[in-house]
Amino acid sequence: MTGRPTRKILAVASGGGHWVQLLRLKSVFADCATTFATVNHAYRADVPGNRFYVISDATRWSKIGLLMVAAQLARIMMKESPDVIISTGAAPGYIALRLGRLFGAKTIWIDSIANVEQLSLSGQWARSTADLWLTQWPHLAKPNGPHFVGTLL
């Protein structure tokens, strides 16, 4: 067999709008082995044919919840060995990027379109973690990031 090996992507998002925005990127992942991780069992129906994991949802106000999410994501990463981790937020996505760096993966953060006035807190924290740090609002872009390349509306 010749050619490049299939790139393995782990796509992580919490629920609601974060998940909807991540789904809008599915066509970009078409030639990749993509695994999705999110907080709602019902979302499995959105990604048929892909590996899928349910993780706990947690916020910065729940330290134990964040540790649980970190443990779940670490297990997923050990099993899947992703080359790239991408997230549209929120806390579970940020944790995935942090862990992904430890596992040697490239990381991409796309801040939510809902954050019109300023980056989300997770998006601000992603600055030091993401290899590619993006905003969906041109007026929030800066020369050193986050960068604006379009929206996922």
Residues with Cβ < 8 Å from 27, sequence gap 6 or more? none
Using one digit for the tens of pLDDT, what is the confidence trace for 102-145? Answer: 999 999 999 988 778 878 878 888 899 999 999 999 999 999 99
Task: Look at the pTM and tell me if it is higher than 0.85.
Answer: yes
Q: For 139, which DSSP code? A: G
- Angstrom distance (rounded) from CA 123 to CA 99: 16
Give the model's pLDDT for residue 2.
54
pLDDT in tens, the chain (153 residues): 456 679 999 999 999 999 999 999 999 998 999 999 999 999 999 999 999 999 999 887 889 999 999 999 999 999 999 999 999 989 999 999 999 999 999 999 999 887 788 788 788 888 999 999 999 999 999 999 999 998 875
To which residue do tokens 């760096």 refer? 101
Give the model's pLDDT for residue 153.
58
Indicate the pairing of strand 8-13 with strand 132-135. Answer: unpaired
Residue 143: burial class (beta carbons within 10 Å; 0-12, 13-18, 19+) = exposed
Give the model's pLDDT for residue 1.
47
Give the model's pLDDT for residue 118.
79
Q: What percent of the chain has pLDDT over 70?
A: 97
Tokens encoding 115: 């954050």
What kind of architecture, by CATH, is found in domain 8-148?
Answer: 3-Layer(aba) Sandwich (3.40)
**Which of 56, 50, 47, 48 shows the shortest CA–CA distance to 75?**
56
Q: Taking the domains of the chain in order of start, what are their residue ranges?
A: 8-148
Residue 106: burial class (beta carbons within 10 Å; 0-12, 13-18, 19+) = middle
